[in-house]
Amino acid sequence: MAARKFSWGATSEKSAEPSARGLLGKLGQRQPSASPAATSKDALLLLQNFEESGRGWFWSTDAEGRITYLSESVCQRLGKSCDELTGKDFVELFLKPDSSEDRQRTLPWVLMRQSKFDDLALQASETEDEIWWAVSGRPYHNANGEFAGYRGSGTDITEQRRASKDNDRLATYDALTGLLNRHRMAKLLESTLSAFQLQKRACAIMLIDLDRFKQVNDTLGHPAGDALLKQVAERLIKVVGDREKVSRLGGDEFQIILQDQDDRGELGDMADKIIRSLSHPYSIDGSRCIIGASVGIAVSPFDGQSSEDLIRNADLALYAAKGGGRGRFRFYSSDLLQAAEDRRVLEEDLRDAISRDEIWLAYQPIVNAQTNIVTGFEALMRWNHPERGNISPALFIPIAEEANMIGELGEWALRKACEEAATWPGVMKVAVNVSPIQFAKDTLPKLVREALSVSGLAPGRLELEITESVFLQDSDDTDNMFQRLKDIGVRLALDDFGTGYSSLGYLKTAPFDKIKIDQSFVRGATEPGSRNGAIISAIVALANALGMETTAEGIESLDQLDLIRDLHVSHVQGYVYSQPVANDVLLERCEAGEWEITPAGPAVQRSDRQSMYRKIGAIHEDHYYNVVLRNLSVSGALIEGIEDVPLGTRFVLDFGDGQLAISTVVRSMGPQQGLEFEERLVNDGNGGLCTSRRVSPYMMAAAGMPIKNLPPGYYDENEEPVRKKGLPAFNTVGDWKAA
- 21 and 134 in a common domain: yes
Indicate yes or no: pTM above 0.85.
no
Find the mean pLDDT for residues 374-392. 91
- Helix, strand, or coil (residue 299): strand
| pLDDT tens readout for residues 142-196 | 989 899 999 999 998 888 888 777 666 667 888 899 999 998 899 999 999 988 8
Strand 571-573 to strand 549-553: parallel, antiparallel, or no bridges (unpaired)?
Answer: parallel
The DSSP secondary structure of 422-461, one letter per residue, reads TTSSTT-EEEEEE-HHHHTSTTHHHHHHHHHHHHT--GGG
- 533 and 434 in a common domain: yes
Asked whether residue 602 is assigned to any structural domain, the reply reads: no
Q: How far apart are CA 415 and CA 56, in angstroms?
A: 84
Find the mean pLDDT for residues 239-248. 93
- 235 and 109 in a common domain: no
- Half-sphere exposure in the Cβ direction for 111 (13 Å, CA): 22
Last residue of a domain, one of 554, 589, 624: 589
- 183 and 224 in a common domain: yes
Is the pLDDT at 248 greater than 60, yes or no?
yes
- 548 and 618 in a common domain: no
- 180 and 148 in a common domain: no
Asked if 55 contacts 101 with a C-beta cutoff of 8 angstroms, the reply is no
Last residue of a domain, one of 157, 181, 203: 157
- Residue range(s) defining the domain that contains residue 242: 173-334
- 309 and 377 in a common domain: no
Asked whether residue 133 is assigned to any structural domain, the reply reads: yes
CATH number at residue 148: 3.30.450.20
Q: How far apart are CA 233 and CA 227, in angstroms?
A: 10
| pLDDT tens readout for residues 307-317 | 999 999 999 99
- Half-sphere exposure in the Cβ direction for 666 (13 Å, CA): 11
- 55 and 22 in a common domain: yes
Nearest residue to 205 (alpha-carbon basis) of 267, 142, 291, 124: 267
Asked whether residue 558 is assigned to any structural domain, the reply reads: yes
Q: How far apart are CA 668 and CA 641, in angstroms?
A: 12
- Counting the structural domains of the chain, the total is 4
Find the mean pLDDT for residues 373-393. 91
CATH number at residue 268: 3.30.70.270
| pLDDT tens readout for residues 588-640 | 999 888 899 999 988 876 656 677 778 898 988 878 888 999 889 888 999 99
CATH number at residue 459: 3.20.20.450
Please tell me the predicted confidence (pLDDT) of residue 312: 92
CATH number at residue 640: 2.40.10
Find the mean pLDDT for residues 468-490. 81
